[in-house]
Amino acid sequence: MPPPGASVPGRGTKGRFPLSELVTSPGRAPPARAAGTAFPILGAISFCHLLNDMMQSLLPAIYPILKGGFDLSFGQIGLLTLTYQSTASLLQPVIGQYTDRRPLPYSLPFGMAFTLFGLLSLAVAPNFGALLAGAALLGIGSSIFHPESSRIARLASGGRHGLAQSLFQVGGTFGQSLGPLLAAFFILPRGRGSIAWFALVALGGMAILTALGHWYQTRGRARTPARAAAVSVLPAREVRRAMAVLLALIFSKFFYLASINSYYIFYLMDHFHLGTQDAQVCLFVFLASAAAGTVIGGPVGDRFGRKTVIWGSIVGVLPFTLVLPYVGLAATIGLSVVIGLVLSSAFSAIVVYAQELMPGRVGMVSGMFFGFAFGMAGVGAAVLGALADWTSIEFVYRVCAFLPVIGLLTAFLPDVEAKRARA
């Protein structure tokens, strides 16, 4: 470890600041380094995350159109989600681990090209098999985008990793919230073929990502990190146990979110007899609140510690999920806002916590957690779709209400920040 006051390359826009400013005690705010945080880069990568996830979110947003047009069952809808999420989840850790050793800054526009072809496939698909192919292309695009873009966000953070991860993720979360609105007011009136217009959005995103790749390359950041500096403050056994707990928390969070993203529209239409357009607006309200929660989680984690945010998010949402299946329409919408705010605040804290558990493996950790999140969402959509076919949508929400209980495993997470400070 370098002596106090030593400088560390590759942090912030000027490239150097004292190592001592990276280490803070729990509950203490990190020193203000606004000049070292490359906010234009963070804004650009967050905007590209918005474009990427907005296009990805069009798939679940058009489920009512696909269900009617292709006469799909809930099980087939779940299979579409599983195909998309599986391709994303299986490839992301592999891509992340590879780019840890050999960064590929210009892979980002290449990944968005897969998303472009996925959208075109959905627009012209003649049968269910072609829909599955389009979903798989979307998943491949996502798997290439997330690990390397998350690395850019961390490199541009200037040491404020929670803030940077939140700004990066809020783009994606807000982009997801736009899918239902676009489906309701653009795709639904014009038909499924209008999805092809979003290829222009993908082309614009590819142009911005090419410029970001140029920044990444020319500033000397696209190089293999020195392994000597990447030493964990915890023994390997404790790291493995903590990672297992974090993955269990991701399971509970994204399995529950699968019930919202894939079936909330159908729940509102079936339980409260809403029209498709009104139900999609309600889904947008939930997703917009989740975007706001994402913004909150990172800076609060920087200030009070990641573990505190994880506790408050995963366990704090439990009373609201338990009540949701038994209230009226107005209360359902209100509770969905609270659930979105509270539950989504944990993800950026979990990712940064995991990156601190395994320093020097930003791509692999980001790919693992984004991939596992996508995988759990896909498995959840398939399992819950089959359960809805067998029972009812209402029963699905009664069962999922207990998933946040898994958040009690947070008690087994070590206090990484305190150990880093002592180290």
Q: Name the pLDDT band for 35 (thresholds 50, 70, 90).
A: very low
Residue, of 192 and 89, whose pLDDT is higher: 192
Domain total in the chain = 1
Question: Is residue 32 in some structural domain?
Answer: no
Q: C-alpha distances in angstroms, 215 versus 55, 73, 102, 152, 208?
A: 25, 47, 17, 10, 11
- pLDDT above 60: residue 344: yes
Q: How many other CB atoms are found less than 10 A from the CB of residue 240?
A: 12
Let me know: does 209 contact 112? Beta carbons within 8 Å.
yes
Q: Name the pLDDT band for 338 (thresholds 50, 70, 90).
A: very high
Which DSSP category does 219 fall into? T
| Domain harbouring 269, CATH code | 1.20.1250.20
Question: Is residue 17 in some structural domain?
Answer: no
Amino acid, single-letter form, for residue 351? V
Question: Is residue 15 in some structural domain?
Answer: no
- pLDDT above 60: residue 227: no
* Whole-number average pLDDT of the chain: 79
Question: Is residue 168 in some structural domain?
Answer: yes
Q: What is the pLDDT of residue 135?
A: 93
What does the pLDDT look like over 91-134, one tens digit per residue?
877 887 787 777 777 888 999 999 999 999 999 999 999 999 99
Question: Is residue 399 in some structural domain?
Answer: yes
Phi, psi of 17 (to 5 degrees): -165, 160
Q: What is the span of the domain harbouring residue 336? A: 38-422
CA distance 314 to 409: 10
Beta-bridge mates of residue 18: 7
Question: Is residue 102 in some structural domain?
Answer: yes
The overall pTM is greater than 0.75? no
Lowest mean pLDDT among 25-34, 43-52, 258-267: 25-34
Question: Is residue 134 in some structural domain?
Answer: yes
Q: What is the pLDDT of residue 62?
A: 87
Region of 128 (left: φ > 0; alpha: ψ -120 to 50; beta: rest) is: alpha
Question: Is residue 1 in some structural domain?
Answer: no
Q: What is the mean pLDDT of residues 351-367?
A: 76
What does the pLDDT look like over 244-297, one tens digit per residue?
888 888 888 888 888 887 788 888 998 898 888 888 889 888 888 887 887 777
CA distance 88 to 368: 10
- pLDDT above 70: residue 420: no
CA distance 236 to 66: 47
Sign of the dihedral through C-alpha 45, 51, 52, 57:
positive
CA distance 328 to 38: 46
